[in-house]
Amino acid sequence: MKQDRIIHAALTVVALSAIGGLALITAFIFKEGLPLIVKVGAGKFLLSSDWYPTEGKFGIFAMIVGSLAVTAGAMVIGAVFGLGCAIVLTQFCPRRAAGLLKPAIELLAGIPSVVYGFMGVVVLVPLIREHLGGPGLSVLASSIVLGIMVLPTVTSISVDALQAVPRSYWEGSIALGATRWQTTHRVMLRAARSGIVAAFILGMGRAVGETMAVIMVAGNMLDVPTSPLDAVRTLTSNIALEMGYAAGEHRQALFATGVVLFVIIMVLNAVALHVSRRRGERAAA
């Protein structure tokens, strides 16, 4: 009995330290970043595209648009390919596909972001520059690279969602004479809808958070992008690029950018949670 109590105490100490440490990070980022947002004014900080740290001007609008553009583009690719692979893995020829496709996707997930960025620079950017114009370093390049990077996330969560649909739905539909594709898109995808939406949202979160690959292919220009071929800077790359030499208010502004990122991720996660919880309720009903 006594031994159990000691173990319980030891576990508590470790767990609370871990949780405390993580909470500390959250508090820290907010502590360093919020004062600057308050000082500059949230509206100005978020909506002004004047980022001149040396003059004390901190407006991250251009970077917010940059992140949004790049993420949206990434999701087009990530959602289509990711969901497509998930459907192949679960609905059409699962065994044959699984042997090659599943490990392939897991390996794609394991490739370091710097390698992706590198491939983007060496292969994709010249292609874009030659055939579509512009500097090559662009929203388009970033979207393609990020799309491939979030594909594994979208696929794995979608696969989970599709596999959670009761087999009886599939069998019932086929028994009524529907083709496999009809069953897939009218029954299975419908039933797994909230899980798939959650997959997309979490994929978005991944795309928003990516730093290194984007630095390498996005061009890092501080203007609001007007076309997919424009170079762009995202919130994450801004922090990475300037942290090394930022000081004082500048550094605080980078932390403030971190706060914005934090909030974006929190919102995305909350939405994903809400969406998948609704599925649970509906399934139970």
Give residues 134-173 in contact with other proteins (rule: CB under 8 A): 148, 151
Give residues 85-124 in contact with other proteins (rule: CB under 8 A): 85, 87-88, 92, 97, 100-101, 104-119, 121, 123
> Which region among 48-56, 164-172, 217-225, 263-271 touches other proteins (by CB under 8 A)?
263-271
Among 42, 47, 72, 80, binds other proteins (CB under 8 A): 80
Upper half-sphere CA count for residue 160 (Cβ side, 13 Å): 13
For 179-240, give the DSSP string: -HHHHIIIIIHHHTHHHHHHHHHHHHHHHHH--HHHHHHHB---SPP-STTS-B--HHHHHH
Give residues 187-226 in contact with other proteins (rule: CB under 8 A): 202, 205-206, 208-212, 216
Among 223, 270, 280, 282, binds other proteins (CB under 8 A): 270
26 vs 226 by CB, closer to other proteins = 26
Under rule CB under 8 A, residue 176 binds other proteins: no
* Helix/strand/coil (H/E/C) assignment for every residue in 273-285: HHHHHHHHHHHHC
Distance CA 147, CA 28 (A): 31
108 vs 224 by CB, closer to other proteins = 108
Among 141, 165, 188, 239, binds other proteins (CB under 8 A): 239
Smallest distance from other proteins to CB 69, Å: 17
109 vs 222 by CB, closer to other proteins = 109
**DSSP letter, residue 93:** S
> Which region among 35-43, 52-60, 190-198, 259-267 touches other proteins (by CB under 8 A)?
259-267
110 vs 248 by CB, closer to other proteins = 110
What are the distances in angstroms from CA 274 to CA 6, 34, 268, 271, 279? 38, 27, 10, 5, 9
Closest CA to 234 of 251, 256, 212, 267: 212
Under rule CB under 8 A, residue 21 binds other proteins: yes
Smallest distance from other proteins to CB 59, Å: 20
Cα end-to-end distance, the chain, whole Å: 43
Among 192, 254, 276, 279, binds other proteins (CB under 8 A): 254
Among 255, 275, 276, 279, binds other proteins (CB under 8 A): 255
3-state secondary structure (DSSP) of residue 51: strand
3-state secondary structure (DSSP) of residue 77: helix
168 vs 179 by CB, closer to other proteins = 179
Closest CA to 236 of 171, 146, 162: 146
**DSSP letter, residue 120:** I
Under rule CB under 8 A, residue 68 binds other proteins: no
Sign of CA dihedral 89, 95, 96, 98: positive
